[in-house]
Structure 1
Amino acid sequence: MTQLKQSKYYVNREISWLAFNNRVLEEARDTQNPLLERAKFLSITQKNMDEWFMVRVASLQQQVFVGHDRVDASGLLPKQQLKEISSAAGEQIRSQYQVLNRSIIPALKKHGFALQHSTDLNEDQIKFLKRFFDEELLPVLTPMAIDSTRPFPFLANDTLNIGVRLKKDDEKSEKHIAVLQVPETSGRVISLPESNQVILVEEVVQLFLDALFQGYTIKESTVFHILRDMELDVADDEDTPNILQEVQSKLQERERGRVIRVIVSANTSKTLMTKLIKALEVPDERVYDVNGAIDLTFIDAWLKLINAPSLEFSAFKGYEEQALAPDKMFDSIKKNDYLLHHPYDTFKPVVQFVQAAARDDDVLAIKMTLYRVSGNSPIIKALADAAQRGKQVTVLVEIKARFDEKNNVHWARELEQEGVHVVYGLRGLKVHAKVVLIVRREDDAIRRYVHLGTGNYNDVTANFYTDLGLFTSDSELGADVASIFNILTGYSDPLYFHQLHMSPDGIRDFIYDKITNEITNAKSGKTAGIKMKFNSLSDERMIRRLYEASEAGVPVELIVRGITMLRVGIPNVSENIAVHSIVGRFLEHSRIYSFDNDGDPEVYLSSADLMTRNLDRRVELFFPIRDHNLRQRVLTIFQTMWDDNVKTRILQPNGVFEKIDRRGLSAINAQEIFIAESLASQVEQQQREKEQHAQRDFEPINNPFTGEKA
């Protein structure tokens, strides 16, 4: 047996994450994508990287500060990881700006949408911007001098700032330094009148900066963007009396975390750069100078001002299953299980499931977990409505959901005020499971209706995240879900579940057992195989199990959107493992786990990825698809994605994901196939409705005596 713990068998987690973000960047380069979509992909890479710095890089920096000296699976100490990823991130940032300056901006300008610089403006535009500056910007700008009596000011996380080097008119030296935060009150992008031209607000501020420093000459100004350590270190142990108060307290502390990254304009002088970096106390290796607009998320604001549907993906709405209409929903689910594949199937039935339950007099109780919801969530409103109507409504709101903590605290408070029983997560664990339980009285009996999903109950992101969800009234699953809520909201420790598996205790061992079964089958000459789709693979022990399966001859097919620390093509270790990654129009978010089981496939869906946090430190659910037709549908979905040769990259033994050489092959774009199937189903449904309506119409017969229409 090969020693599978050797570091050479694993890729560093953060390097793998950067490789994923580079795959997103490739979509920004891809001229087969509509232009505005390419611009969106570029903006996404910036948002992705910002979050990665604020959490993952910050975590490594904290480990270095406290002297943590444990190596990761790839054999690197935290300090070594920081050095490698800081360099790799710099290369990716340079690539981002190459795409911006050489591709996106010139292409947009060719279509008549120009990003102007202050040197490009005509006289009328300068007059317009002077009025705008005086009326909108000047009243809110606050220049802050830096000297012996006025130390360097606190600059908030994720802010754009301007550093200024000045000379007093009656002095020879140029030693005066000031900073000011670019205001957000007027937006990042300013439309210029009677044109499709725009200018960034920081350029407007710099254009009229002398109005703020009368008696001084501005020798230089530069724009810079800072990110801080935004890890929320909540001590939710037995010594924490109130987890809600602890989260609220930590949210305030987090805003003052250490500076973790600075991006600054490349034309900044060494003098000004040195002063700024010293004051911000950020290591040199995490200061990146760029040629172009700082903070590429300005693209989002710019795109909102561009009306050019021909430069976007065609509008698409998912198929709506009529059997799941509110007036039919419970009767339909009582008879059959239903599988929804979002966004190709609309998310509406999930929302309507809660809304219908709120209005239904026979519904006694609604229980639900919430991890991330939209800013104006119809589900939140439905839960409040249900409580107001006297139903027992219990909601677990995970207030530790990263970067949604404030939003979730708000919704939890709102629900409480409406009479909902709210549980604020669990000590020591995040609740990432996605489940709704509806308890309904029918013919003097109690029936449980359940929705289980792979993604959040967020009606907005459901339009561009791919996820799978199951509606069922299966009695065993219903009993399991009821037990889950007893665990989450009270004190309960059931001896077993009928069908569900739950982390932190059950999912890891269950997957181990299934992998072991496939190994046994392969060694016995039976058919074997493992097919999995998830977002990330970073659990070292799970990777070792997959290596063991490969060693035993089990074919392992993995579709991994993001991180994968596994290496393929290692002789006698991973020769039977293939890894695909799809980055396309929709964010691949569904989790599928399938085991061949000697030709009788077992198929499961889950809220969990194969990450240590999901398997050991979160409440996740892993549930079977028992209906034969639905099971086959999930396998078909997987196979369609596996056959994709347009958006798929395949992991190579050297650790690089490469696109498929399509010469001589017909294009197979899985997401486009699913869209086409959804549209075809919608046409068929419209035709059926038309035919049903025609059958209800009647043609009056002729009066046999007069020959006239009756």
Structure 2
Amino acid sequence: MTKQLSHYVNRDLSWIEFNRRVLEEAQDINNPLLERAKFLAIVSSNLDEFMSVRVAGIQDQLRAGYSKTDFTGYTPAVLWKRLIKRANQMVSDQYRTYREIMRSLAKEGITLRSVEDLSAAQLKVISDYFHEIVFPVLTPMAVDQSRPFPLVHTKELYLSVLLKQDGEVEEEPLFAIVQVPSILPRLFQLPSRAGSKKLEFVLLEDIIQQFIHILFNGYTPFAVHPFRLIRNADLLLNEDEAEDLLEEIEKELRKRRWGIPVRLEVEKGIHPYALQMLQEELEIQDNLFLADGPIDLTFFMKFANSLPGYEHLRFERMEPQYPQEFQETDDMFEVIRERDVLVYHPYESFEAVNDFVMQAAYDPDVLAIKMTLYRVSGHSALVQALAMAAEAGKQVTVVVELKARFDEERNIAWARQLEKAGCHVVYGLVGLKTHAKILLVVRREQGTLRRYVHVGTGNYNDSTATLYTDIGLFTAHPVIGEDASALFNEVTGYSSPYEWKAFGVAPTDLKEKLFRLIDREISHALEGRPAYIIAKMNSLSHQAMVDKLYEASQAGVKIDLIVRGVCCLRPGVPGVSDNIRIISIVDRFLEHARIMYFANGGDDEVYLSSADWMTRNLTRRIELMCPVFDQTLRQILINMLRLNLNDNVKARQLLPTGVYTHVESGSEPHRSQFEAQVIHNWKSSV
């Protein structure tokens, strides 16, 4: 008798399946070779964050003795074992893929050499490099009775070193560690051999191993192996009692380096004594991975991006187009007054957003600028424009989210810079992350005030805007403007609950508004009117939302979901989710837009949102969902969704078993991201 499947897919196991889809892109021989290498790096980076946050959280539950079953049927203990097993299987596949990619790169004249294979001239070069550049920054750290085991930083690469003293017989080896300096390039380019045009590289840790005896005068290193540790990276903030949230986060960031060890990665073939020492000192037994290749493959990202002259091994370069609506004008306000404007990144340039803020900064009729910042690039033109506006005497209010994970330090720096320029900087509400993406400009026009608003599905980050697919909407619609002002008032001051005219706002009413929209589709279906939902998002894991979609399916509502990552809904279950189809698209750009379409009995409605349908987004964050009122723009967004749904090259369909499989190709291939590169395919299609 077969065990009946749960109606829900576990969130963390679903994430493993997502990262496996990323790995499939590294394995896809139809992708350019250096792009495959970059996907390999993304797999590693994704796994690091997953281990330091999600798996670390499960480890905390185990340590606290928590044993309750979650809504998908897993206890922390069972889930831990299954996650570690599946993660290790995936990483083993990743290293097999690494070796395949290296063999293919070698055919292109790009090779990674071991020190043993170097010519005498190349050995001389790495010797000089070691003595002149590497050696001065190395610090050998011995471990003995007088010198306790040193702090091992998370995600940093180290070498474990076993030694014996020259001329003496030791009962057991001496032990030391050496950090591989991350300030130096992981790959060192060797001079070409005589008559060869090949590019040859050697790993920094291999160079250090070759000359490591120099660090231990009078001792002989006999076993040297790389290792790497992942620590718990979650911040434990007590926001209620923190007098200064900025200082509290800075204090917690310093603690992150001492986070509890979660995962240990070591080189396959490591000496048993060295492994025993590492496991005992770092107190880690279960989450151990033996790497059959270089530890930490994230170095492939810089490597793949920095090689000149190999454009044939990359995707064809795509230059974002400046939005056509703004191309023939110096006055963006005039254009937005006349009509709403939709911008689709990365096909259209983020410079339009920068220019909008810059124009507002210089415009003497602009009185105020208000904006949320969640993740900002390292050299943000937006931040410079906001600072200029404040220095010009405008009222500039910036809600900076200090708790944006792994961007905390950068956001603290931006907050201080903006404050120095005279901006009002707000850190949001206690216990809630401000994840909404909204920009409000208040302008004086003909004796009255007009509000101009930009809402987006992605961060105000010009770097990720070239890598993520996101939607931005410029509008001067008065109802959206009123809601925008009310939203900033709620975040920055004291304000009674507001009756939103257009927005759905989490955590107060976004979930309820979505439920009302789904219930309306259910009513249409039951009464024989058109009932159809298309929702595109990054993740779907909120149990009540999954249950509501099941209810809609059972009522006859057709539902198409485009969920890039985690998905706890199990489609195609007879009597439960027969009418639900789910696809995931993993391709050149990270699918990041959140778009919701409701047929509404033939009177279509479309919304843009910052929120995924996850518990954290709907209950613990300030999120925003905004309607698109312009009929032409609504149709453009519907066409974009259909473009995704027709993808039969990079789309995978989620089966009732929880397994993803490539969508069956029809007679003609459709690759939505590549078809969307031709702007007229979606903007001029209505």
Which position in structure 2 is the counterpart of 1:72?
Answer: 70
Which position in structure 1 is the counterpart of 2:450?
Answer: 447
Could you tell me which runs of 5 or more consecutive residues in structure 2 were left unpaired when the two chains were aligned: 193-197
Q: Please, what TM-score do these two structures have when normalized by structure 2?
A: 0.96
Q: State the 1:301 CA deviation.
A: 3.1
94, 97, 122: which is aligned to 2:95? 97
Alignment coverage as a number of residue pairs: 674
Q: State the 1:680 CA deviation.
A: 10
Q: State the 1:328 CA deviation.
A: 2.3
Which position in structure 1 is the counterpart of 2:487?
Answer: 484
The letter for the 2-side match of 1:445 is: T
Q: State the 1:571 CA deviation.
A: 1.2
1:42-441 matches, within 5 Å, as 42-101=40-99, 103-173=100-170, 174-194=172-192, 196-237=199-240, 239-283=241-285, 285-307=286-308, 308-325=310-327, 327-441=330-444
Contact 1:439 1:446 in 2 (8 A): yes
Q: In structure 1, what is the Cα distance between the partners aligned to 2:264 and 2:148? A: 19
Contact 2:375 2:459 in 1 (8 A): yes
The letter for the 2-side match of 1:472 is: T
Which position in structure 2 is the counterpart of 1:695?
Answer: none
Query: Could you report, residue by residue, the CA deviation over 1:375-405 in whole angstroms, capped at 9, with x for unpaired residues?
Result: 0000000000000111110000000001000
Q: In structure 2, what is the Cα distance between the partners aligned to 1:159 and 1:538? A: 32
Q: In structure 2, what is the Cα distance between the partners aligned to 1:246 and 1:217? A: 46
Q: In structure 2, what is the Cα distance between the partners aligned to 1:287 and 1:322? A: 53
Q: Secondary structure at the match of 2:343?
A: strand
The letter for the 1-side match of 2:215 is: L
Which position in structure 1 is the counterpart of 2:659?
Answer: 656
Q: In structure 1, what is the Cα distance between the partners aligned to 2:633 and 2:681? A: 20
Q: Secondary structure at the match of 1:8?
A: coil
Q: Secondary structure at the match of 2:384?
A: helix
Q: State the 1:678 CA deviation.
A: 5.3
Contact 2:676 2:682 in 1 (8 A): no
The letter for the 1-side match of 2:276 is: T
Q: State the 1:322 CA deviation.
A: 4.0
Contact 2:371 2:397 in 1 (8 A): yes
The letter for the 1-side match of 2:130 is: F
Contact 2:325 2:341 in 1 (8 A): no
1:20-39 matches, within 5 Å, as 20-39=18-37
Contact 1:449 1:473 in 2 (8 A): yes
Query: Could you report, residue by residue, the CA deviation over 1:280-310 in whole angstroms, capped at 9, with x for unpaired residues?
Result: 1112x21100111110012123224412111
Contact 1:188 1:301 in 2 (8 A): no
Contact 1:533 1:560 in 2 (8 A): yes
Contact 1:11 1:73 in 2 (8 A): no
The letter for the 1-side match of 2:182 is: E
Contact 1:166 1:177 in 2 (8 A): yes
Q: Percent identity between the aligned chains?
A: 44
Query: Could you report, residue by residue, the CA deviation over 1:655-710 in whole angstroms, capped at 9, with x for unpaired residues?
Result: 11100232x5211001111112359989x9xxxxxxxxxxxxxxxxxxxxxxxxxx
Contact 2:322 2:349 in 1 (8 A): yes
The letter for the 1-side match of 2:543 is: E
Which position in structure 1 is the counterpart of 2:602?
Answer: 599
Q: In structure 2, what is the Cα distance between the partners aligned to 1:512 and 1:523? A: 16
Which position in structure 1 is the counterpart of 2:672?
Answer: 670
Q: In structure 1, what is the Cα distance between the partners aligned to 2:78 and 2:361? A: 54
Query: Could you report, residue by residue, the CA deviation over 1:395-433 in whole angstroms, capped at 9, with x for unpaired residues?
Result: 000000010000000000000000000001220000000
Q: In structure 1, what is the Cα distance between the partners aligned to 2:18 and 2:284? A: 26
Q: State the 1:521 CA deviation.
A: 1.3
Q: State the 1:319 CA deviation.
A: 2.4
1:552-567 matches, within 5 Å, as 552-567=555-570
Which position in structure 2 is the counterpart of 1:704?
Answer: none
Which position in structure 2 is the counterpart of 1:467?
Answer: 470
Q: Secondary structure at the match of 1:455?
A: coil
Which position in structure 2 is the counterpart of 1:545?
Answer: 548
Q: State the 1:318 CA deviation.
A: 2.1
Q: In structure 2, what is the Cα distance between the partners aligned to 1:616 and 1:339? A: 28
Contact 2:570 2:577 in 1 (8 A): yes
1:572-591 matches, within 5 Å, as 572-591=575-594
Q: State the 1:185 CA deviation.
A: 2.8
Q: Please, what TM-score do these two structures have when normalized by structure 1?
A: 0.93
Q: State the 1:460 CA deviation.
A: 0.8
Q: Secondary structure at the match of 1:91?
A: helix
Q: In structure 1, what is the Cα distance between the partners aligned to 2:202 and 2:644? A: 41
520-529 vs 531-540, which moves further = 520-529
The letter for the 2-side match of 1:274 is: Q
